[in-house]
Amino acid sequence: MSDMTRLLDAAAAGDRKAADELLPLVYDELRALAAARMAAEAPGQTLQATALVHEAYLRLIGSEDARWENRGHFFAAAAQAMRRILVESARSRRRLKRGGRRVRIELLDVADSLADDPDLLLSLDELLSRLAEEDDAAARLAHLHMFGGLSVEEAGKVLGLSLPVAYRNWKYARVWLREALEK
């Protein structure tokens, strides 16, 4: 068992010292995941990559049922946690209490910086859940690629898929999502 796996198990069991030792080991990779995900978000996003990493890490370590088989499983769980945080943020931005569907406008360059509506993110989350009912492997690969910031090759590796199968699943998921979004 690797040191990281041992720390993951101990942190999941509630060992605060293990959680403190684990964070420096995974922080750079989690930060890269979050930065890639945030780069795909609309301009004007109030959630920053650092905050996304911290929130995801706290959810992962604080979870009662947190058990990770290995490093790849941990990062897949981190991508899932980031997805949930972004979806919650999009729902929050859409609520009337938070301004409803009003669009945030940057004062410096109004024409080029209109923030996108969070509806696309929410639709994508719903569609990935529907795709999972039809083809779970394709949905998990698309989730890691789109929300985790992993390349198709990296997502396939995390899921234990060969390169051709990973690309076939991504192609299917991409076409399925595009058609569903157009409806």
pLDDT (tens digit, 9 = 90+) per residue, 56-79? 888 888 776 667 777 788 888 888
Task: Count CB neighbours of 66 within 10 A.
Answer: 17
CATH 3.40.50 fits 118-183, yes or no: no
Backbone angles phi, psi at 139, to 5 degrees: -65, -40
- Cβ–Cβ contacts within 10 Å for residue 17, how many? 10
148: which residues sit within 8 A by CB, 6+ positions away? 33, 36, 37, 75, 76, 78, 79, 82, 83, 155
Q: Is 0.85 topped by the overall pTM?
A: no
Is 149 in contact with 140 (CB distance < 8 Å)? Answer: no
Per-residue pLDDT reduced to its tens digit, 13-29 = 778 788 888 888 888 88
pLDDT of residue 99: 54
Sequence-distant (≥ 6) Cβ neighbours of residue 104 within 8 angstroms: 44, 114, 115
> Distance between CA 86 and CA 90 in Å, rounded?
6
Tens of pLDDT along 99-154?
Answer: 555 554 332 222 232 235 566 677 788 889 999 999 999 999 988 888 777 889 98
Taking a C-beta distance cutoff of 8 angstroms, is the pair 131, 138 a contact?
A: yes
Q: Examine the pLDDT at 3 and tell me if it is beyond 70.
A: yes
CA–CA gap between residue 179 and residue 183 (Å, rounded): 7
Domain boundaries, the chain: 1-116, 118-183
